[in-house]
Amino acid sequence: MKRQIAGVCTLAAVAAAVAFPLTAANAAEELAAPTFSHDGGRFTESKTVTLTAPQGAQIRYTLDGSTPTAKSPLYKKPLVIDETTNLAAVSIKGGATSPAEIEGYIIKTDEKPLTSFFVMSDVHTSALTEKNRGIWKSHFDTLASINPDPDLIISNGDQINDNNNNTAPDHQVVKTIFDENIDRLGLDDTPILMSHGNHDVGNADMAKYYGDWFPNATGGYYEKTIDGQTFLVIDTERYSGAQRTWLQGRLAALSAEPDALNTPIFVVGHRPTANTVYDGAQASNATLTADLSGYPQAVYFSGHSHLHLNDERSIWQGGFTAVNDGSMSYTETPHDAYQIYGNALWDEFTIPTAQALYVEVYADRTEIDRINFAADEDRTYTNGAWGAYQAGYPFASAGTLAGPTWTVRLDGTTPEEVRANFDHTAAARDNVAPVQQGAPEHTVTASGADILRVPAATDDESVYGYDVRVRDAATGVEALPIRAGAKVLADFQIAPRPSVLEIPLAIRNGRQADAPLITLTKGTSYIAEVTAVDMYGNRSEKTTVSFVAGQVPDTTRPQVTLVSPTTAGPSKAIDIRVDATDEVGLARIVANIYQGGTLVKSTQSKATGTTGSHVATVTLPDGAYTIKYNAQDAAGNISKTSTFDLTVDATAPTVTVKTGDSFTVGDAAGYDKVSFKLHDAGKIDRLELNGVGKDLSNNAWSDLNFVKPGTFGGVKGENTLLVHDVAGNVTTVEFVLR
């Protein structure tokens, strides 16, 4: 939800936010998303959230950060959110689905933290423009919606975009933007700590512009104590000599204090340490890793890599704890993924997602929440040109969570015991494979582009991407030059993440818009193989789809008509005829017979061409039955299954002679008069006596009384009586009249 928190001063107006895109089918409806009774944020108890949709619309929701679909849980009553999660919801009415609304709820106990602070990095802001001011207004509003009075804000290196050591005045842009929001939100008493990054020019310049936010103009390292918590800020561009000696000394001195083993020491530096967090191949500072490894209570925050926080490898525990703090400008994936850019896959690894950490320190633990400040659907490149990071603000995804809370516990009386109780070690890494949620489908756009629609796989942590391989069906040769080991990004970084990925089967290698577009050959048969891969490389089962490039797949269901039976009976047997039609071609027609929900007889016929019929005669015991019938075409589309209820009656009526002189005089050798009792459970229809008929009005019981010569077709001598039931069963009685 877009947050705009009022403040003392007013920034320049910001442009309207970019809405989530609708599909063509949905766009015409303009259906509004549900509204939430509570914005996201941090809460000290469970939060009951009421969702409201437009009149006549139903609401579907998810609690796992995915975009809801028509198959997602149906909202029936207010939702109780009792653990940290993302709640997403859509309105559905008729054939229209609204954009998704999403909120992030951080659920805590009523225990008050000793210290709370935010850690961000890679601000990369060098222009005092209306857009940058608008973006940072949104970011600070998100910060305040989680904690309006944090004890500390850390900006961990790369405040500006300098690449040539000649843009130091750009630091004034960052200082101005931060000051404006601090004043607006009343955060004047909140300390700011900054570290020196590789894009920040020099320490002296930073000290000049930031003052108390960066107090060491010569060495770039310093110590701050906030509410009893120690923060050691270092300059990872120059980690050696006096600075290294200082850090080693401070770690040793702090670890000698009472209860030091169970008290975190927060170390803040721009670059990650070697062989710890997964850092996008930008690891450095091997000596820093060695220096921290002797202190399990050390918690090291780093940026620089821009690696997204959705990855569980952004926290590492071994000799100490290392945590990636994301990026506030753009994030990166490891350089092994293609992104979806319009009509092609692009070999690109940057994403305009802004993320940071919210940290709470308690007596027995440190809790770290991963916050999305901007995770709307967007790309860093447009038509091959570098964009300006996030495009729409305030951000609809602001305040959502990039993953569950990380907890750092320092339990133990020795360093070995503390490390043995770590939760985020290599030994605890995920080995559960993703699960595919259906086979991919091939479709063709109006412009003739081939698209692979892939239902999003599920995973116990997070799906990273999809290994997509397209091969010529005849030769087996790969048809798209996707790099070995490279995947199509799952767009996990978007909040809410998509439930279906529409992957263009075309590649534009390189970032340039005029790079050659490699596509499939129209009219050629291909097989696409899709495997879901999680952050750790665990792989799902493979799914496949066969298709012809450029050929619109047949998705139209056949039409069926039940020609026979036409009435519910009863009938002696079931005479079935089902006609079917299909625009492309039929495969089979089916008519199954059920009794009480149990299949008792299956009949079907193969069919070819665009029209066909299935004919069958089925004899069954007396009773009530249901015919269920449908048709399948050559593309696998199945018609709507229709039903027809009927009754089978194969038992002929019973005919008995009534006794008593008032009804019958005589015996089987001959009668002066005779009367008959007629019965049939399926109802008597009519009778014929020597060709003279009588309608008996479909009664279960009936009579033929006082028959004698000259009465109702009776004749002296041999007589023939035929009794018919409604189903067409006939009982014949021969008798003699005198």
The residue-averaged pLDDT of 163-169 equals: 83
Query: Which tokens go with 68?
Result: 């809801």
Residue 48: domain span: 24-107
Do residues 263 and 369 share a domain? yes
Q: Contact at 8 Å (CB) between 152 and 117?
A: yes
The residue type found at 221 is Y
**In this structure, which long-range contacts are made by residues 640-647, counting pairs with CB atoms below 8 Å and at least 24 apart in sequence?**
640/557, 640/560, 642/560, 642/562, 644/562, 644/565, 645/568, 646/565, 646/567, 646/568, 646/569, 646/570, 646/571, 646/574, 647/568, 647/569, 647/570, 647/571, 647/622, 647/623, 647/682
Q: Are residues 543 and 563 in the same domain?
A: no
Residue 19, pLDDT score:
28
Instruction: Give me the number of domains the chain comprises.
Output: 5
Residues linked to residue 316 through DSSP beta bridges, in sequence order:
322
pLDDT of residue 282: 62
Residue 6, domain member (yes or no): no
How confident is the model over 286-308, as a mean pLDDT?
A: 95
593 touches 626 (CB < 8 A): yes
Taking a C-beta distance cutoff of 8 angstroms, is the pair 346, 319 a contact?
A: no
What is the Cα–Cα distance from 456 to 68, expressed in whole angstroms? Answer: 12
Question: Do residues 313 and 297 both lie within one domain?
Answer: yes
Q: Is 669 inside a domain boundary?
A: yes
State yes or no: pLDDT of 280 exceeds 90. no
* Helix, strand or coil, per DSSP, at residue 596: coil
**Whole-number Cα distances in Å, 408 to 84, 307, 319:** 17, 20, 13
Same domain membership, residue 186 and residue 161: yes
- Report the CATH number at residue 453: 2.60.40
Is 424 found in the same domain as 280?
Answer: yes
> Distance between CA atoms of 401 and 371, rounded to whole angstroms?
5
pLDDT at residue 27, rounded to an integer: 40
Instruction: Provide the CATH number for the domain around residue 404.
Output: 3.60.21.10
From 428, 454, 484, give the residue that closes a domain. 428
Element (H, E) at 141: helix 130-146
- pLDDT in the model for residue 446: 87
Question: In 3D, which of 332, 250, 333 has the Cα closest to residue 291?
Answer: 250
* pLDDT of 677 higher than 80: yes
Rounded Cα distance between 324 and 628, Å, is 59
What pLDDT shows up at residue 463?
A: 96
- Rounded Cα distance, 607 and 585, in Å: 8
Do 42 and 188 have their domain in common? no
CB 121 within 8 A of CB 197: yes
Q: Mean pLDDT, to the nearest integer, of 245-274?
A: 96
CATH number at residue 612: 2.60.40.2550
User: Which amino acid is present at 282?
Assistant: Q
Given a cut of 60, is residue 616 above it in pLDDT? Answer: yes
Q: Are residues 366 and 422 in the same domain?
A: yes
pLDDT per residue over 433-492, tens digit each? 999 999 999 999 988 999 999 999 999 999 999 999 999 999 999 999 999 999 999 999
Cα-based distances in Å from 464 to 291, 634, 676 = 33, 35, 84
DSSP per position, 43-82: ESS-EEE-EE-STT-EEEEESSSBPP-TTSPBP-S-EEE-
Instruction: Identify whether residues 290 and 398 lie together within a single domain.
Output: yes
User: Which residue, 648, 676, 702, sits at the end of a domain?
Assistant: 648
Handedness of CA 699, 703, 709, 715 (dihedral sign): positive
Domain-embedded: residue 448: yes
With respect to residue 339, please indicate whether it lies within any of the assigned structural domains. Answer: yes
Together in a domain, 29 and 102: yes
Which amino acid is residue 349, in one-letter code? F
- Burial category of 562 from C-beta neighbours within 10 Å (exposed 0-12, middle 13-18, buried 19 and up): middle
Asked whether the beta carbons of 130 and 180 are under 8 A apart, the reply is: no
Q: What is the pLDDT of residues 344-370, one digit of tens each?
A: 998 888 899 999 999 999 999 999 999
Residue 523: both structure tokens together: 């009219």
The arithmetic mean of pLDDT across residues 558-566, rounded, is 96
Q: What would the two tokens of residue 322 be? A: 């290392």
Q: Estimate the crossing angle of helix 130-146 against helix 170-185, to 10 degrees.
A: 40
Could you tell me where the beta strands, DSSP code E, fall in 456-522? 463-472, 487-489, 500-504, 506-508, 517-519
pLDDT for the residue numbered 11: 30
Mean residue pLDDT across the chain: 92
Closest CA to 104 of 358, 378, 337: 358
Query: Which pLDDT score is estimated for 122?
Result: 96
Strand pairing class (298-302; 265-268):
parallel
Find where tokens 């941090």 sit.
Answer: 42
Contact 217, 208 (CB under 8 A): yes
User: Distance between CA atoms of 674 and 665, rounded to whole angstroms?
Assistant: 6
Residues 635-668: pLDDT tens digits? 889 999 999 999 999 999 999 999 999 999 999 9
d(CA 169, CA 210): 11
Whole-number Å distance between alpha carbons of 604 and 166:
80
Residue 4 predicted with pLDDT over 60: no
**Are 719 and 737 in contact, with CB atoms under 8 Å apart?**
yes
pLDDT of residue 20: 31
Look at residues 678, 724, 732, 727 and name the one whose alpha carbon lies nearest to residue 701: 678
Phi, psi of 352 (to 5 degrees): -80, 55
C-beta separation of 61 from 70 below 8 A? no
Cα distance between residue 630 and residue 588, in whole Å: 9
Q: Is residue 622 part of a domain?
A: yes
* Residue 632 to residues 314, 561, 639, Cα–Cα distance (Å): 49, 13, 6
Return d(Cα 574, Cα 594) in angstroms, integer: 12
Q: Checking DSSP bridges between strand 487-489 and strand 337-341, what pairing results, if any?
A: parallel
- In angstroms, the CA 288 to CA 304 distance is 15
Token pair 């954009």: residue:
99
Q: Please state, as a whole number, how many other Cβ atoms lie within 10 Å of the Cβ of residue 381.
A: 17
Exposure of 59 in the CB half-sphere (CA atoms within 13 A) = 24
How many angstroms separate the CA atoms of 314 and 368, rounded?
12
Q: Which residues contact 660 (CB under 8 A, 6 or more apart)?
A: none
> Is residue 473 in a domain?
yes
The count of C-alpha atoms lying within 13 angstroms of the C-alpha of 238, restricted to the half-sphere facing its C-beta, is: 15
> DSSP character for 433?
P
Give the model confidence (pLDDT) of 598-611 as tens digits. Answer: 999 999 999 999 99
β-bridge partners, 677: 656, 703
Residue ending a domain, choose from 428, 457, 486:
428
DSSP 86-123: EEEEEEEETTEEPPPEEEEEEE--SPPPSEEEEEE---
In a domain, 511, yes or no: yes
Structure pTM?
Answer: 0.78
The CA–CA distances, whole Å, from 179 to 39, 69, 361 equal 26, 43, 26
Specify whether 326 is located in the same domain as 197. yes
For residue 23, pLDDT over 50 is answered with: no
Q: How far apart are CA 296 and CA 272, in angstroms?
A: 17
480 vs 472: CA distance, rounded Å: 10
Report phi then psi at 104, rounded to 5: -105, 125
Q: Are strands 366-374 and 400-401 parallel, antiparallel or unpaired?
A: antiparallel
Domain contains 11: no
272: burial class by Cβ within 10 Å (0-12, 13-18, 19+)? buried
Indicate whether 100 and 119 sit together in one domain: no
283 and 213 fall within a common domain: yes
